[in-house]
Amino acid sequence: MNIRTVAISILFFLLSFYLHAQTGTGKKFTKADTLRGSITPERAWWNLLHYSLHIIPDIAQKTLQGSVDVQFRAVKAGRYMQIDLQQPLIIDSVTTPLSAKKNKLLSFKRDSNVAIIDYGKTLITGRQSTIRIYYHGTPREAIRPPWDGGVSWKTDATGAPFVATSCQGLGASAWWPCKDHQADEPDSGMLIAVRVPDTLTEVSNGRLKQVIQHGDRTKTWVWEVKSPINNYGVSMNIGKYTLLKDQFRGESGLLSLDYYVLQSNKDSATQQLRQVKPMLRCFEYWFGPYPFYQDGYKLVEVPYLGMEHQSNVAYGNKYQNGYLGKDLSGTGWGLKWDFIIIHESGHEWFGNNITSKDIADMWIHEGFTNYSETLFTEWTDGKQAGNAYNFGSRKNIRNDKPIIAPYNVQATGSGDMYYKASSMIHSIRLAMNNDAKFREMLRSMNRKYRHSMVTTKELEQFMSGYTGFSVTGIFDQYLRGIQIPVLEYYISYEKDKLVYRWSDAVEGFNLPLQIPSTGDTIRIRPKLSQWQEYPLKRGQAEALQLKDLSKYFYIQTLEKKEMVIKLN
């Protein structure tokens, strides 16, 4: 064993030991988790420029064969490259061009779901090159998509093939070879070419570049993505589709709207998809221009519920309002719009435009997108409807474990990344008490991090610059902990004052509160375990709506009936 191998082995051991201690849950992470979830030395030295993916699915056998060209630039000198492809898929060979007519065969070693490719020589900083990976095999079949991920090999009501991919969390390497980490996206987008029987249509991301008819009664559908794209947002969809076309005049000009729906659902789709334009109008108002005008907006019907595939939203909500006809908030407001159209399209801004560098920070995708539901409810039915929807959705919060998971091991935190993170964002908005500034924060966020990757720490710093107070303690409370903060208070009617403090909160929790009162709103900044007082005007004490605060802010309230308080 050489020195380099020994050093890497020690690194993996120490990192696994540290992460085991970090979680406090008893979960032990493996070398495979680290290879999948961290920026390994074999990933760090090269930057993705472009993918060119070519696939031939055998629908009857449920297999794939194909190749992918990976264009990259060396950001520092390197030779060994990590490419991810999940078993039982097989890499047949890896080549790199020596000239226009000659390729060099590269050696590689598989380590579970990873291949370490020997480029054959060290590439110097700044050098660009391409490798081509040929592969085949049986990809993981999705049993309960989109949650378990893989390929769905289904049929529609007529018995025609109905095939789709979904791989959030699992990773795109479940069905094609790639650099499967969210921290690196192809700077110049990608090309996706899929060859299927000519009785079927294949729909992927971006715009349709060409359709090639072959002599064996197959067609290759070639799609081109101009923007950077996260791996799990890449999709393959095959079915008996019909195309419905529309346009939206938005902030950045004319946006094409293409809807690929099963032929039997054309009438239902025509009616239901009228919700797309109001959704785009709302989200462009709050978040800024749709991030992918050059790639268009598409919605494609799939045999599962839905997924936020970039510029190609996967839809399976059966053309009905709510979440398969149910209101997840329990308020009735969630039945006034189609959950999948609204939620999955919201991901075009949060998830696809702004992507978390590590899957541990997936709350950035899901929390802001879940909050887009509140904003759309408010857009269509007013602010009180939005408040009610947000409050009603909190019944889904479990507070079982932190939302942010350990980093560098492909781990995700609590499912509270949806509703609890959304409630946190709503609480921050109310604490700002300035919707114009809150809106500019969201729009500026989408400008600053356009088509790029971020961390929670980066967003902490960014948001604190807009809110007027640091959000670090607030993030600690809601994203890194499981307690619900309690506002303890006592109203002294004799002395006309409000006495208050935070309890059951983390150190540094500093959420300001706006308390409605007669003809006025008072603003307080409670501190943890430290009683403070606020002088009240005559008659103001009776009008304070303290118990209602928990319907807006994600907090609990506790009134102290009789007590003697010694103020610091």
What pLDDT is attached to residue 316?
Answer: 98
Claim to verify: residue 24 and residue 85 sit in the same structural domain = no
The candidate with the shortest Cα–Cα distance to 46, out of 156, 127, 160, 145, is 127
Claim to verify: residue 169 and residue 208 sit in the same structural domain = yes
Please write the tens of the pLDDT for every residue from 232-277.
999 999 999 999 999 999 999 999 999 999 999 999 999 999 999 9
Q: Tell me the pairing of strands 63-74 and 128-137.
A: antiparallel
Does any domain span residue 433? no
Claim to verify: residue 53 and residue 174 sit in the same structural domain = yes
Does any domain span residue 112? yes
Does any domain span residue 374? no
Q: How is 259-288 classified by DSSP, letter by letter? A: EEEEGGGHHHHHHHGGGHHHHHHHHHHHH-
Claim to verify: residue 24 and residue 126 sit in the same structural domain = no
Claim to verify: residue 28 and residue 132 sit in the same structural domain = no
Domain harbouring 241, CATH code: 2.60.40.1730
Q: Read off φ and ψ for residue 136, nearest 5 degrees.
A: -160, 170
Claim to verify: residue 26 and residue 147 sit in the same structural domain = no
Total domains in the chain come to 3
Claim to verify: residue 7 and residue 145 sit in the same structural domain = no
| Contact present, 556 and 485 (Cβ < 8 Å) | yes
What pLDDT is attached to residue 563?
Answer: 59
Claim to verify: residue 72 and residue 111 sit in the same structural domain = yes
CA-CA-CA-CA dihedral for 544, 549, 550, 556, to nearest 10:
-60
Claim to verify: residue 104 and residue 228 sit in the same structural domain = yes
Contacts 24+ apart (CB under 8 A), 93-98: 93/133, 93/134, 94/131, 94/132, 94/133, 94/134, 95/131, 95/132, 95/134, 96/120, 96/129, 96/130, 96/131, 96/132, 97/130
Does any domain span residue 448? no
From residue 219, how far is each of 29, 262, 484, 513 by CA, in Å? 44, 19, 56, 60
Domain harbouring 506, CATH code: 2.60.40
pTM of the model: 0.93
What pLDDT is attached to residue 99?
Answer: 86
What pLDDT is attached to residue 561?
Answer: 81
| Contact present, 29 and 19 (Cβ < 8 Å) | yes
What pLDDT is attached to residue 187?
Answer: 98
Which residue ranges of the chain lie beneath pLDDT 70?
1-26, 518-519, 562-568
What pLDDT is attached to residue 235?
Answer: 98
Report which secondary-structure segment, H or E, holds 255.
strand 253-262
What pLDDT is attached to residue 443?
Answer: 98
| Angle 59-64-65 from CA coordinates, rounded to 5° | 130
What pLDDT is attached to residue 541?
Answer: 84
The two three-digit tokens of residue 173, written as one number: 């390497």
- Side by side, which strands form the sheet with 46-58? 78-84, 114-123, 103-111, 90-97, 128-137, 63-74, 46-58, 190-197, 218-225, 207-213
Claim to verify: residue 23 and residue 161 sit in the same structural domain = no
Q: Which amino acid is at 242?
A: T
Does any domain span residue 296? yes
What pLDDT is attached to residue 564?
Answer: 55
Q: Please, which residues have CB within 8 angstroms of residue 208's CB and are 6 or more apart in sequence?
A: 221, 222, 223
Boundaries of domain holding 528: 486-559
What pLDDT is attached to residue 17?
Answer: 36
Claim to verify: residue 25 and residue 46 sit in the same structural domain = no
Does any domain span residue 143? yes
Last residue of a domain, one of 286, 317, 348: 317
Please write the tens of the pLDDT for every residue from 404-447.
999 999 999 999 999 999 999 999 999 999 999 999 999 999 99
Does any domain span residue 254? yes
| Contact present, 227 and 294 (Cβ < 8 Å) | yes
Claim to verify: residue 129 and residue 169 sit in the same structural domain = yes
* 87: three-class secondary structure by DSSP: coil
